[in-house]
C-alpha cells in the first residue's frame, strides 16, 4: 500500500523542531506518515518516535510504510496524550511534539469516509468509524437550532440559517444518506462570490469538527503537550482554518505572556516578579507555506504553522 502525500511544511520539520539524534519526539497526527518518516530519518538508533492517530486506517497504513523499532503508533486521540506518556514513564522527557491538524489526503480522497464534497459517498465524517455517530444520523435528527449553531460556530458560514432551514425541510421528504444529498441542499441556498471556493466547504468543515469534537480535543491536547515536554522542548502546530489557529495562537500567547500590571500594587520590583517565571513558553513565530510547496499540494495553501518552546 502506498499513499502519495506531500505533508504541509514537510521539509521544515526537522529544522524547526531542532531534532536531536537521541531525542524523543511525538507526532500527534500520523496521517499518511510524512512527518514521522522525516523525523525518523534524523534520529540515531537511540532516538524514539511515538505517533498517535485516532483513525484505525492510518494505524494500518503505518505498518506498510514504517518498519522501525524506534517507532510506535497508538490508535487513540491526541487528547489522551498524557495518559500514554505517563504509562511510558516519559513525562518531561519529550524533546518535540508536532500537531498537523485537519484531515489527511488519505481520508479526503476516500469517498467512503464522507469528508469530501467532490465525491459522492456515505455521509459519515467520523475520524474513527468505529465510534461516535455518523454525520447523516445527526443531520436527520438534530433540531434546526442545533444545526444552525454548529454551522455558524464551526463553519463561520454566513448562510448558516438558510442551510439549517433547508436541511430540516428537505429531510421530511428524504433522509440524508450521502455527501451529495447535503451538497445539493447547500447549492440551493448559498451564494459564493469566490470562484475558487466550493459552496459546501464551510458546512462540511463545521459538521466534521462537531462530529469529532475537534476543537475541545485540540485544547486538551495542547495543554497535555505542554505538560509532557521537557524544558527546551519544542511544540509545532499546523492548522488549516481560523478556528484551529485561533486556539493555537491564544494558547501560545497565554503561555508566553504575562500582564505585570495585575501585580502593580504589590510591593515587588519588576526584577523580583520576573524571578517567579510567569512566562512558560517562548513564541518562536508563525509561518506560511512557500509557493513551490503549494504547487505540489494545493490543499496546504491555507495552512499556518506556529512554533513555540517550553522554558519552564
DSSP code per residue over 196-254? TS-TTHHHHHHHHHHHTTHHHHHHHHHHHHHHHEEEEEEEEEEESSHHHHHHHHHHHHH
Q: Which residues contact 310 (CB under 8 A, 6 or more apart)?
A: 226, 229, 230, 231, 232, 233, 234, 235, 280, 281
Cα atoms in the Cβ-side hemisphere of radius 13 Å centred on 286: 11
For the ranges 74-78, 130-134, 193-197, 304-308, the lowest mean pLDDT is seen at 193-197
Contact 164, 143 (CB under 8 A): no
Whether residues 221 and 92 fall in one domain: yes
Residue 51's pLDDT is what?
97
What does the alpha-carbon distance between residue 84 and residue 94 come to, in Å, rounded to a whole number?
Answer: 12
Whether residues 225 and 92 fall in one domain: yes
- Position 286 in a domain: yes
Burial of 21 (0-12, 13-18, 19+ CB in 10 A): exposed
- Position 57 in a domain: yes
Q: Mean pLDDT over residues 54-69, rounded?
A: 93
Whether residues 82 and 132 fall in one domain: no
Whether residues 84 and 222 fall in one domain: yes
What is the number of structural domains in the chain? 2
Residue 195's pLDDT is what?
56
Domain of 58: which CATH number? 3.40.50.150
What does the alpha-carbon distance between residue 187 and residue 258 come to, in Å, rounded to a whole number?
Answer: 47
Whether residues 68 and 14 fall in one domain: yes
Whether residues 137 and 98 fall in one domain: no
Element (H, E) at 56: helix 56-65
How many helices and strands in the chain, by DSSP H and E?
A: 14, 7
> Which pLDDT band holds residue 44 (cuts at 50, 70, 90)?
very high
Q: What percent of the chain has pLDDT over 70?
A: 89
Of 211, 239, 273, which closes a domain? 211
- Which residues pair with residue 286 across a beta bridge? 306
Residue 15: domain span = 10-106+214-310
pLDDT at 58 over 90: yes
- Position 3 in a domain: no
> Which pLDDT band holds residue 3 (cuts at 50, 70, 90)?
very low
Cα atoms in the Cβ-side hemisphere of radius 13 Å centred on 35: 31
For the ranges 74-78, 224-228, 288-292, the lowest mean pLDDT is seen at 288-292
pLDDT tens-digit profile of 197-250?
789 999 999 999 999 999 999 999 999 999 999 999 999 999 999 999 999 999
Whether residues 193 and 246 fall in one domain: no
DSSP for residue 122: B
Amino acid at each position: 500500500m502506498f499513499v502519495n502525500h506531500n505533508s504541509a511544511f514537510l521539509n521544515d520539520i526537522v529544522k524547526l523542531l531542532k531534532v536531536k539524534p537521541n531525542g524523543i519526539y511525538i507526532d500527534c497526527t500520523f496521517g499518511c506518515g510524512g512527518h514521522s518518516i522525516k523525523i525518523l530519518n534524523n534520529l540515531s538508533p537511540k532516538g524514539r518516535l511515538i505517533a498517535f492517530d485516532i483513525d484505525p486506517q492510518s494505524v494500518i497504513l503505518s505498518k506498510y510504510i514504517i518498519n522501525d523499532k524506534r517507532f510506535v503508533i497508538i490508535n487513540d486521540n491526541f487528547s489522551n496524550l498524557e495518559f500514554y506518556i505517563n504509562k511510558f514513564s516519559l513525562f518531561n522527557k519529550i524533546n518535540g511534539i508536532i500537531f498537523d491538524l485537519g484531515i489527511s489526503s488519505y481520508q479526503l480522497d476516500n469517498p467512503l469516509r464522507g469528508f469530501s464534497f467532490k465525491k459522492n459517498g456515505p455521509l459519515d465524517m467520523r475520524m474513527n468509524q468505529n465510534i461516535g455517530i455518523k454525520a447523516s444520523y445527526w443531520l436527520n435528527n438534530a433540531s434546526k437550532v442545533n444545526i444552525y449553531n454548529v454551522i455558524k460556530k464551526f463553519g463561520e458560514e454566513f448562510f448558516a440559517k438558510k442551510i439549517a432551514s433547508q436541511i430540516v425541510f428537505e429531510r421530511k421528504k428524504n433522509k440524508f444518506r450521502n455527501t451529495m444529498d447535503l451538497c445539493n441542499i447547500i447549492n440551493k441556498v448559498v451564494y459564493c462570490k469566490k470562484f475558487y471556493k466550493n459552496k459546501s466547504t464551510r458546512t462540511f468543515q463545521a459538521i466534521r469538527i462537531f462530529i469529532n469534537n475537534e476543537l475541545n480535543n485540540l485544547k486538551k491536547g495542547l495543554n497535555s503537550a505542554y505538560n509532557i515536554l521537557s524544558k527546551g522542548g519544542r511544540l509545532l502546530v499546523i492548522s488549516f482554518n481560523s478556528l484551529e489557529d485561533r486556539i493555537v495562537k491564544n494558547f501560545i500567547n497565554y503561555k508566553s505572556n504575562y500582564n505585570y500590571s495585575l501585580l502593580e500594587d504589590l510591593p515587588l520590583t519588576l526584577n523580583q516578579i520576573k524571578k517567579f517565571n510567569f512566562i512558560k513558553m517562548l513564541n518562536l513565530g508563525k509561518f506560511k507555506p512557500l509557493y513551490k510547496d503549494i504547487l505540489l499540494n494545493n490543499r496546504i495553501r491555507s495552512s499556518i504553522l506556529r512554533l513555540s518552546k517550553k522554558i519552564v
